[in-house]
Structure 1
């Protein structure tokens, strides 16, 4: 039986394990998906060595960047972003080769593109981690100028205190790549001048629990177009399955 899984720490509730095991059962696929909660990235070697049937892994926080040292070959997106969230595992005799991909870019780009309009030319990206870098890569591939927003002073980023009403009107696409507002902290939202938003504003939240975060609700109340990260998640799962099943040339 083929095996797939997710590495991260902590894992808690995982969308992937329920999605893939339901897929395997409904489609009669002889495979299983497991969660591998590992307290340090070095443990990934033991996971791979002790599971010879393991064909692929998803990677989540905090290992998307740390896992790079174990990857033999990277897709262009993964290399440019410096983060991997899908690994294809190939067993060649006694040798195990890991190939790294980033499905954040594909999932996000395909998800946001249909709701972009001609007046969406600049975007604020809330957060500066691996997911934020993937979002930047995706937006730039769509011809949109980007600017990071960080809680602290960082190179090539502004702080939340520096986000004025004029900036929100100019950078009218805003993507939340932070965990702020995620269940159970549903009363929290990024500190922004929401009063400056209108029907030309597009808010995209990578979070999908709750369905409508406070960030999205405050924007929608002012006429903004809003979307959560559920479709992105589903697209990422589809891409993972393609990569694991030998269609990785589409993403290299």
Structure 2
């Protein structure tokens, strides 16, 4: 019988994780099978009890990434700092939680970065869970210059949990817009650009430098209004598909010991999304 793996969350029917992971199981001649399972917060405890004896590992998506932590036996230090888990490894009934979102994002950046990531001067737009995962992963990797901006500055300050990081500044949207040309990498983590807000952008790119990399975590639509505007200004752009693929690849490696072919996965999912590489 094949080893069972899942992604759980609510809603979950739109997930492309099964397509990606099952391709990796097949291409690596492994007997695993990956499925999507609709699980809400009220169902989580009973599902985890079942998974302890039936699955080898699973991914966790919204709205369960924080709630899942109370049901795990061991949580990786980076995941603790992020305050969320997206990958669980089952070792003989003991559940180990990790977060591959932020590190997966950083690995995906390798497709467009020209310099080591720790040398970048980075602006993060947004203050939600994705921003938090990326912030703590960047700090983990030794990045020295990070600014965070958000419509509500209080939420941006909350990302730091009251800790003082000499390398992290919280700035207003207007300050970010005014100094945009100073950043070598801009990371857009909000939901602006997704339905029903496809035409909205989080800030003006009027002062954007053509040398800047502009990254948007959204991959559907394949190219957001924010990325289209950055492209008009000759910036290097990247959508959220590499992050999605690399966070999944790191989870797959945790479960199997094999880092899968991310290039083929990109081609498959790019076609499925009807996009062109960006």
TM-score, normalising length from structure 2? 0.77
Quote the Cα distance in structure 1 between the aligned partners of 2:101 and 2:67. 16
Unaligned runs of 5+ in 2: 158-169, 259-278
CA drift of 1:47 comes to: 1.6
Quote the Cα distance in structure 1 between the aligned partners of 2:211 and 2:248. 31
Moved more, 44-53 or 170-179: 44-53
Residue 215 of structure 1: aligned partner: 226
Q: How many equivalent pairs are there?
A: 241
CA drift of 1:77 comes to: 1.7
Q: How does 1:66-77 map to 2 (within 5 A)?
A: 66-77=67-78
CA drift of 1:196 comes to: 0.6
Residue 12 of structure 2: aligned partner: 11
Unaligned runs of 5+ in 1: 248-252
Are the aligned partners of 1:2 and 1:31 in contact in 2 as well (CA < 8 Å)?
Answer: yes
Q: How does 1:137-216 map to 2 (within 5 A)?
A: 137-140=136-139, 141-154=141-154, 156=157, 157-160=170-173, 162-183=174-195, 185-190=197-202, 192-216=203-227
Quote the Cα distance in structure 2 between the aligned partners of 1:118 and 1:167. 22
Structure with a larger share of its residues in strand: 1
CA drift of 1:221 comes to: 0.7
CA RMSD of aligned residues (A): 2.6
Are the aligned partners of 1:164 and 1:193 in contact in 2 as well (CA < 8 Å)?
Answer: no
Quote the Cα distance in structure 2 between the aligned partners of 1:21 and 1:164. 42
Quote the Cα distance in structure 2 between the aligned partners of 1:198 and 1:89. 46
| Match for residue 236 of structure 1 among 235, 247, 254 | 247
CA drift of 1:203 comes to: 0.6
Classify 1:166/1:159 alpha carbon distance in 2 versus 1 (closer, same or farther; 3 Å): closer
Residue 39 of structure 1: aligned partner: 40
Q: Does 1:111 align with 2:108?
A: yes
CA drift of 1:171 comes to: 3.3
Are the aligned partners of 1:64 and 1:130 in contact in 2 as well (CA < 8 Å)?
Answer: no
Q: Deviations over 1:127-174 (max 9, x none)?
A: 2222211211233324242222223231524453x3453221233421
Are the aligned partners of 2:103 and 2:134 in contact in 1 as well (CA < 8 Å)?
Answer: no
Are the aligned partners of 1:4 and 1:32 in contact in 2 as well (CA < 8 Å)?
Answer: yes
TM-score, normalising length from structure 1? 0.84
